[in-house]
Amino acid sequence: MLPAKSMLPKFMLAASVAVLALGLVSAPASANDVALPTPLADTFYDTPDDLTGFENGEIIAVRAMPAPPSLFDVQTYQLQFRSTDMYERPIAAVTTVLLPNNRRPNGPLLSVQDIVNAMGLDCAPSQQLYASTTNVDIRSGSLTASQRPMLNGLLQQGWVLAIPDHLGPRSSYGAATLGGRISLDGIKAVQNFPAAKVAKSKVGLIGYSGGGMATAWATALAPTYAPELSIAGSAYGGAPMNLIKMGEGLGINSAHPAFGLAFAAAMGLSREYPAEIPMWDNLTPTGKSLFTELQNACTNEILLAGLGHRADEMTPDVGIFDDPAARKVVRANSLEFYPGIPDTAIFEWHSPIDNLIPVDSIDITNRRYCDAGVELVSVPAFSPDHLSSAVVGLPGALAWMNDRFAGVPAPSTC
């Protein structure tokens, strides 16, 4: 089930609200400032002491899992694999692999980047796939469990599905570029997994909002970060392309319903970029209280904790985009400013009246891709809010993806 209706448009903001608290920069970084999430009790997620012998996408550990609730005729595995963080250090990430019993060798492989806006590791897709409906309702805000009917439909077509924990081992909410890296390395890990039999499969990616942002970044990074991958198509919707503009649009001097997500995303960026975005020493007592409360929170807990608060309660200095190091980080995670050009066909959808993401930044990015010769289809998914746009655009995105897997030449609306 989905979160309460009143919360839906807010939690779909995803990592794009990261920047409301980016004025919290001045003190040296320390482990305490980063406030890493509490490790899971499940030792499968533990990072090995030495990853230097592993390449990106190389499998570190594998385990068979029971089928998630309400998914049928499927074998399930979780893979721990090597990826790279934003300081170019090796990290261990996880993806969940769903292998339909009716699959054929080297049939379609689709990487599904879920919407996950969270600080706690137990909020990740690999955990939420096994969550009860009640737990998903109360804590997560993730769509993984509620999308089970859609996942079943894709599995019945024989598609192998990979669902990465794209926020990474530190749940670095807001670090969009990292999400792209992990998504690509997760695909490589699945192709390296013999039981999947997808080493020569056509590969697709799909995601919406925060998942769309990870998908869009993976698509843009692939030619340089993972040039060995052959991606047949990438479909993403409601993807924030400019985090600076997104943050400025939310305001700082009055309470905002999504402020908890904004503060959490600043925390997530501080986890990934502690040298550029330390926070703790720059917080008021109220800010430190919220900082501690959100350390392991999932989406709806984040929304409730931040409800009624604003940035000037959290720090004595709300000069939000003034610090050059922080601004550089946010810009580096805004796809509008990334000069790379994808080398695969794209299906992009969004509501032209979406009031949560900067639509003009999507248009600018699409125009740049079209000018570079990308086969891009941009579809207006008319709806009054961010959430319903996902539902409006998804059937067209999946039909488009089916054509890419079938080898039909990609259309373009450029």
Q: Could you identify the residue written with the tokens 């000018």?
A: 371
Indicate if the pLDDT at residue 3 is higher than 50.
no
The pLDDT value given to residue 27? 38
Domains in the chain, ordered, with CATH?
A: 45-240+342-406 (3.40.50.1820)
Q: How big, in percent rounded to 5, are the helix, strand and coil portions of the chain?
A: 40, 15, 45
Please give the average per-residue pLDDT across 149-159, as a whole number: 92
Give the model confidence (pLDDT) of 186-198 as tens digits: 999 999 999 999 9
Closest CA to 303 of 138, 176, 146: 138
Can you tell me the distance from the alpha carbon of 288 to that of 292, in angstroms, rounded to the nearest whole number? 6
* Amino acid letter, residue 342: P
In DSSP terms, 207 is beta-bridged to 113, 236
User: Which residues are CB-contacts of 100 (< 8 A; sequence separation ≥ 6)?
Assistant: 73, 74, 155, 156, 157, 158, 159, 160
Give the model confidence (pLDDT) of 79-96 as tens digits: 999 999 999 999 999 999
> CA dist 409 to 232, 235, 272, 393, Å?
10, 15, 39, 20
Full-model pTM:
0.90
Q: Could you identify the residue written with the tokens 């930044």?
A: 361
Instruction: Give me 223's structure tokens.
Output: 């030619």
Closest CA to 355 of 5, 6, 10: 10
Give CA torsion, residues 26, 168, 391, 75, to 10 deg.
-170
Give the model confidence (pLDDT) of 345-382 as tens digits: 999 999 898 877 889 999 999 999 999 999 999 999 98
